[in-house]
Amino acid sequence: MNIGIVYLNYFSSSQIKNSIYSLSSQLSNSDTIYVGDNSNNLKEFQELKKLQSKRINVFDNNGNHGFSKGCNLIISKFKIDHDWILLINPDTKVHHNFLGEFRKSASKIDNHYYAISPLGFKMGTNNIWAAGGKFYWFRGRGDVLPKKSNIKNIEFGTCACLFVRRNLFESLG
Protein backbone atom coordinates (compact mmCIF):
# COMPACT_ATOMS: atom_id res chain seq x y z
CA MET A 1 0.00 0.00 0.00
CA ASN A 2 1.59 3.24 -1.09
CA ILE A 3 0.64 6.81 -0.26
CA GLY A 4 0.90 10.07 -2.18
CA ILE A 5 1.15 12.81 0.44
CA VAL A 6 -0.10 16.23 -0.66
CA TYR A 7 0.81 19.58 0.89
CA LEU A 8 -0.60 22.78 -0.57
CA ASN A 9 1.53 25.78 0.31
CA TYR A 10 0.35 29.35 0.72
CA PHE A 11 3.14 31.22 2.50
CA SER A 12 3.68 28.33 4.92
CA SER A 13 7.04 26.86 3.85
CA SER A 14 8.45 26.76 7.41
CA GLN A 15 5.35 24.94 8.67
CA ILE A 16 5.55 22.44 5.81
CA LYS A 17 9.20 21.80 6.66
CA ASN A 18 8.25 20.95 10.27
CA SER A 19 5.33 18.78 9.18
CA ILE A 20 7.46 16.86 6.69
CA TYR A 21 10.08 16.36 9.39
CA SER A 22 7.43 14.70 11.61
CA LEU A 23 6.43 12.40 8.74
CA SER A 24 9.55 11.63 6.69
CA SER A 25 11.01 8.83 8.85
CA GLN A 26 7.74 6.88 8.47
CA LEU A 27 7.68 6.72 4.68
CA SER A 28 7.76 3.35 2.94
CA ASN A 29 9.84 2.93 -0.22
CA SER A 30 6.83 3.66 -2.43
CA ASP A 31 5.46 6.69 -0.55
CA THR A 32 6.08 10.14 -2.02
CA ILE A 33 5.53 13.66 -0.71
CA TYR A 34 4.25 16.27 -3.17
CA VAL A 35 4.30 19.97 -2.33
CA GLY A 36 2.50 22.48 -4.55
CA ASP A 37 3.13 26.18 -4.10
CA ASN A 38 0.05 28.40 -4.43
CA SER A 39 1.88 31.48 -3.10
CA ASN A 40 3.00 32.87 -6.47
CA ASN A 41 6.06 34.26 -4.68
CA LEU A 42 9.59 33.46 -5.87
CA LYS A 43 11.18 33.61 -2.40
CA GLU A 44 8.56 31.26 -0.95
CA PHE A 45 9.00 28.83 -3.85
CA GLN A 46 12.78 28.86 -3.41
CA GLU A 47 12.35 27.92 0.27
CA LEU A 48 10.19 24.98 -0.76
CA LYS A 49 12.68 23.87 -3.43
CA LYS A 50 15.21 23.32 -0.62
CA LEU A 51 12.99 20.42 0.49
CA GLN A 52 13.22 18.71 -2.93
CA SER A 53 14.70 15.21 -2.72
CA LYS A 54 14.22 11.71 -4.08
CA ARG A 55 11.07 11.35 -1.92
CA ILE A 56 9.84 14.97 -2.01
CA ASN A 57 8.64 16.68 -5.20
CA VAL A 58 8.02 20.43 -5.23
CA PHE A 59 5.89 22.15 -7.89
CA ASP A 60 5.01 25.74 -8.68
CA ASN A 61 1.25 25.96 -9.18
CA ASN A 62 1.76 29.32 -10.94
CA GLY A 63 -0.67 31.28 -8.83
CA ASN A 64 -3.21 30.89 -6.05
CA HIS A 65 -5.90 28.53 -7.30
CA GLY A 66 -7.60 27.86 -3.97
CA PHE A 67 -7.49 24.64 -2.02
CA SER A 68 -9.36 22.21 -4.29
CA LYS A 69 -7.81 23.16 -7.60
CA GLY A 70 -4.39 23.59 -5.99
CA CYS A 71 -4.52 20.03 -4.63
CA ASN A 72 -5.81 18.72 -7.96
CA LEU A 73 -2.86 20.35 -9.75
CA ILE A 74 -0.47 18.55 -7.41
CA ILE A 75 -2.21 15.18 -7.77
CA SER A 76 -2.15 15.50 -11.57
CA LYS A 77 1.67 15.43 -11.31
CA PHE A 78 1.88 12.11 -9.45
CA LYS A 79 4.51 9.88 -11.04
CA ILE A 80 3.36 6.76 -9.18
CA ASP A 81 -0.09 5.20 -9.13
CA HIS A 82 -0.59 5.60 -5.37
CA ASP A 83 -3.25 3.54 -3.59
CA TRP A 84 -4.09 6.34 -1.16
CA ILE A 85 -3.82 10.12 -1.17
CA LEU A 86 -3.13 11.92 2.08
CA LEU A 87 -4.27 15.55 2.08
CA ILE A 88 -2.50 17.23 4.99
CA ASN A 89 -2.37 20.84 6.11
CA PRO A 90 1.05 22.51 6.37
CA ASP A 91 0.77 23.11 10.12
CA THR A 92 -0.03 19.47 10.98
CA LYS A 93 2.49 17.44 12.94
CA VAL A 94 1.95 13.70 13.15
CA HIS A 95 2.59 11.02 15.76
CA HIS A 96 5.78 8.96 15.33
CA ASN A 97 3.77 5.93 14.14
CA PHE A 98 1.09 7.81 12.21
CA LEU A 99 1.57 6.06 8.85
CA GLY A 100 2.02 2.66 10.52
CA GLU A 101 -1.29 3.06 12.33
CA PHE A 102 -2.95 4.17 9.10
CA ARG A 103 -1.66 1.13 7.22
CA LYS A 104 -2.88 -1.17 10.01
CA SER A 105 -6.35 0.44 9.98
CA ALA A 106 -6.60 0.53 6.19
CA SER A 107 -5.71 -3.16 5.90
CA LYS A 108 -8.71 -4.05 8.12
CA ILE A 109 -11.39 -2.20 6.14
CA ASP A 110 -13.10 -3.32 2.99
CA ASN A 111 -13.28 -1.44 -0.30
CA HIS A 112 -16.56 0.26 0.65
CA TYR A 113 -14.60 2.67 2.83
CA TYR A 114 -13.12 5.38 0.69
CA ALA A 115 -11.66 7.77 3.25
CA ILE A 116 -10.09 7.67 6.69
CA SER A 117 -9.96 10.65 9.03
CA PRO A 118 -7.52 10.32 11.93
CA LEU A 119 -8.06 11.63 15.44
CA GLY A 120 -6.74 15.13 15.96
CA PHE A 121 -5.09 16.16 19.21
CA LYS A 122 -4.52 19.59 20.67
CA MET A 123 -0.89 20.43 19.94
CA GLY A 124 1.44 19.09 22.61
CA THR A 125 -1.26 17.20 24.52
CA ASN A 126 -3.09 13.89 24.52
CA ASN A 127 -6.46 15.68 24.50
CA ILE A 128 -8.61 14.92 21.47
CA TRP A 129 -9.46 18.03 19.51
CA ALA A 130 -11.53 16.30 16.81
CA ALA A 131 -12.73 12.78 16.02
CA GLY A 132 -14.39 13.37 12.66
CA GLY A 133 -17.75 14.95 12.27
CA LYS A 134 -21.48 14.42 12.09
CA PHE A 135 -24.21 16.34 10.30
CA TYR A 136 -27.31 17.35 12.24
CA TRP A 137 -29.81 17.88 9.47
CA PHE A 138 -32.60 19.24 11.66
CA ARG A 139 -30.29 21.90 13.06
CA GLY A 140 -28.87 22.55 9.60
CA ARG A 141 -25.24 22.19 10.59
CA GLY A 142 -22.33 19.86 11.00
CA ASP A 143 -20.36 19.55 14.20
CA VAL A 144 -16.93 18.18 14.99
CA LEU A 145 -17.09 15.22 17.35
CA PRO A 146 -14.89 16.26 20.27
CA LYS A 147 -14.06 12.80 21.60
CA LYS A 148 -13.43 9.29 20.46
CA SER A 149 -16.58 7.23 20.54
CA ASN A 150 -17.81 3.91 19.27
CA ILE A 151 -18.81 5.52 16.00
CA LYS A 152 -16.99 3.76 13.19
CA ASN A 153 -18.63 5.73 10.41
CA ILE A 154 -18.35 9.49 10.46
CA GLU A 155 -20.01 11.81 7.99
CA PHE A 156 -17.05 14.05 7.31
CA GLY A 157 -13.36 14.07 8.04
CA THR A 158 -11.64 16.85 9.83
CA CYS A 159 -8.45 17.67 11.63
CA ALA A 160 -6.47 19.06 8.72
CA CYS A 161 -5.72 15.56 7.51
CA LEU A 162 -7.61 13.07 5.36
CA PHE A 163 -6.70 9.82 3.59
CA VAL A 164 -8.69 9.16 0.40
CA ARG A 165 -8.50 6.14 -1.90
CA ARG A 166 -7.01 7.32 -5.16
CA ASN A 167 -9.52 5.45 -7.33
CA LEU A 168 -12.40 7.30 -5.66
CA PHE A 169 -10.61 10.62 -5.94
CA GLU A 170 -10.11 10.14 -9.67
CA SER A 171 -13.63 8.84 -10.28
CA LEU A 172 -15.04 12.02 -8.72
CA GLY A 173 -12.99 14.13 -11.12
For the chain, the structural domain boundaries read 3-117+160-172, 119-157
Burial (CB count <10 Å: 0-12, 13-18, 19+), residue 131: buried
Q: pLDDT at position 5, please?
A: 97
Q: What is the pLDDT of residue 60?
A: 96
What confidence score (pLDDT) does residue 154 get?
Answer: 65
Q: Is 62 helix (H, G, I), strand (E, B) or coil?
A: coil
* Residue type (1 letter), 169: F
Return the pLDDT at 125: 81
Please name the amino acid found at residue 128. Answer: I
Say what the pLDDT of residue 27 is.
95
Residue 33 and residue 5 in contact, taking contact as beta carbons nearer than 8 Å:
yes
Q: Give the residues of the chain that fall short of pLDDT 70.
A: 131-159
Which pLDDT belongs to residue 7? 97
Name the fold adopted by 3-117+160-172: Spore Coat Polysaccharide Biosynthesis Protein SpsA; Chain A (3.90.550)
d(CA 12, CA 90) in angstroms, rounded, equals 7
Specify the pLDDT at position 55.
94
What's the predicted TM-score (pTM) here?
A: 0.86
Q: CA dist 52 to 24, 42, 45, 49, 144, Å?
A: 12, 15, 11, 5, 35
What does the buried/exposed string (b/e) look like for 32-71 if buried means 16 or more CB atoms within 10 Å of the residue's CB? bbbbbbbbeeeebbebbeebeeeebbbbbbeebbeeeebb
Closest CA to 129 of 81, 171, 93: 93
